[in-house]
A and B are shown apart, each in its own frame.
Chain A
Amino acid sequence: MAGIVCRTASRIISSQVSCSSSVVAVRHSHWFTSMLSLKTSSPLRAEPKKKKKVDPRREIMMKERLKKKLKRLEKVAPELIPIEDFITPAKCLDETRIRDAPKHSFEESERRALLLKEWSRYKYSQHQTEMDTINEALEAQRQALDELKLESEELYKAAVSPDTDIFPFQHEGPSYTPPVTNYEAPEGKYNDITRVYTQ
């Protein structure tokens, strides 16, 4: 019965709509609201979760506050890495470790003083000979370059141009004993206990 009424009502409405532009919401039952209005049925209307405009703003504010806190933390200067050589270890300040100061005889202290003076004289003469040798070698090189310049400009330019292949230059310096031929060093384990600091 209700269905027939509805169908007739809808036909009337549709005929009415086709003539007039304005929509008249005619409700015949609460289940069937007008076709053209929003479909806001009660199940939909009963939902508790609704995103209001205030919430996104709150979230944005939270993020900004966190970012500001992070920036403040980062602005603090990083802690300096301690130089271990400059810190006197507590062991050295221990009183029990002090050696008894030895008492030298007069001759001993005299001998030491004289030896130190002799050493300074020796080192001075050594330095002089070194400087002389170096200057002599430099002078020889300079004269050789002058000679070369007289010979040909091209060769001179080639000689004066910098040598890029020489660096990095490596050479093993003299040791106390010469290297043993065909020596196989034994494998060894070691624990590396160096302290590594990160900033």
Chain B
Amino acid sequence: MAAPFSRLCRPLWRITTTSTLNKGVRNVSSSRQQWSAQNVKTAGAASPWALNGAVCLQRLPVVSEDGSPIEEEFMELMHLMEFERSLLSDHELRLLEDAARMSRKQEGDYDSDEEDYRDNEIVTAQDLEDIWEQKPKQFQPAPRSQGVDEKDMSSSERCLADSLILLVKKDVGSQKLWLLPQIQWQTGETLRQTAERALASLPGADKKATFLGNAPCGYYKYKYPKVIQKEGSVGAKVFFFKAVLSSHKHLPLEKNSFAWVKKEELQDFLKPEYLKQVRRFIMAL
């Protein structure tokens, strides 16, 4: 839930700021600075904003990512320090004993009767080590990169070490835009249900997702261009809900309408104002 900020001065600030900046671009973001007084007035009455619910579907990383150089170096140092401060294990003691016994055997006055015979004679510690090294080679793990082309955006097996977001290309007005999957809100359902419907309405393999809570994680507000603006509809508000992909069938999706995208690649797909709002709640840690 939202952190408990004390925002006593906030309402005053909202009312006194200037009206919204209408850029040439159709989508207008409403960050704190550009909030207009108009919105405060229309609260309570039949709001002119159409409500949409959108889903931010994340495929969490499947494979651990490679450490940065300093992390690698530090890990090595830690291993070394631990090794130096440790005690000798049973296996190492055995190795030492075997080595000592070998050296004694090489000497001229070796009397084998003095040795107390144990099973160590048959299988030396070194042999055991060799056996242990051979055993894991029987198992072939899957390769880390999975061999899928990194540029193929429609495959969800892309970058296994990063978390990916699902984007959809949609007709909005006259343009085709890349968006997070969204759908119009209908009366009688909560916004989370709208988001679930948005996810279910996507064509393709059914994606089992767990929605993280009832509250939206972010929002985006935009005004319709003046041509379409009628009385009672100024624009639309989109509320984003986070979901985590739990399991899916690896069916390929259409290349041109779906994309699994990392956080860094989002800027190639989304409009700048939209991106600005969306980046806030997508955490790529």
Q: In the docked arrangement, what's the CA distance between A97 and B85, Å?
A: 11
Q: In the docked arrangement, what's the CA distance between A78 and B90, Å?
A: 36
Chain A residues near B144: list those with CB within 8 A: 176-178
Asked if A61 is at the interface of the complex by the 8 Å CB criterion, the answer is: no
B210, B215, B219, B240: most-surrounded residue (chain A CB, <10 A): B215
User: Which residue from B5, B51, B237, B244 sits with its C-beta under 8 Å from A171?
Assistant: B244
Asked if A184 is at the interface of the complex by the 8 Å CB criterion, the answer is: no
Asked if B225 is at the interface of the complex by the 8 Å CB criterion, the answer is: no
Chain A residues near B219: list those with CB within 8 A: 140, 143-144, 147-148
Q: In the docked arrangement, what's the CA distance between A118 and B160, Å?
A: 29
Q: Which residue of A lies closest to B163 (CB)?
A: A174
Q: In the docked arrangement, what's the CA distance between A178 and B61, Å?
A: 10
In the complex, identify which listed stretch (B129-137, B164-172, B275-283) lies at the interface while the others stay far away.
B275-283
Q: If the complex has contacts A143-B219, A144-B240, A159-B216, are A171 and B246 also in contact, measured as CB distance less than 8 A?
A: yes
Interface members, chain B 1-52 (any A CB < 8 Å)? 1-3, 5, 32, 39-40, 43, 47, 49, 51
| Inter-chain CB contacts under 8 Å: number | 153
Asked if B63 is at the interface of the complex by the 8 Å CB criterion, the answer is: yes
Interface members, chain B 139-172 (any A CB < 8 Å)? 140-144, 146, 160-161
Instruction: Contact check, A119 vs B190: say whether CB atoms are below 8 A apart.
Output: no
In the complex, identify which listed stretch (B69-77, B175-183, B253-261, B266-274) lies at the interface while the others stay far away.
B69-77
Chain B residues near A166: list those with CB within 8 A: 210-213
Q: In the docked arrangement, what's the CA distance between A138 and B219, Å?
A: 12
Instruction: Contact check, A137 vs B281: say whether CB atoms are below 8 A apart.
Output: yes
Interface members, chain A 147-184 (any B CB < 8 Å)? 147-148, 150-152, 155, 158-163, 166, 169, 171, 174-181
Chain A residues near B70: list those with CB within 8 A: 115, 118-119, 122
Interface members, chain B 53-93 (any A CB < 8 Å)? 60-65, 70-71, 73-74, 77, 81, 84, 86-88, 93
A97, A135, A143: most-surrounded residue (chain B CB, <10 A): A143
8 nearest A-B residue pairs (beta carbon)? A142-B2, A140-B280, A144-B219, A177-B141, A158-B190, A97-B87, A140-B218, A97-B88
* Sample (9) of A-B pairs whose CB atoms are under 8 Å apart: A115-B73, A136-B280, A140-B277, A141-B1, A141-B215, A163-B214, A174-B63, A175-B64, A176-B141
Interface residues of B (CB under 8 A from A): 1-3, 5, 32, 39-40, 43, 47, 49, 51, 60-65, 70-71, 73-74, 77, 81, 84, 86-88, 93, 140-144, 146, 160-161, 190-192, 210-219, 221, 237, 239-240, 244, 246, 277, 280-281, 283, 285
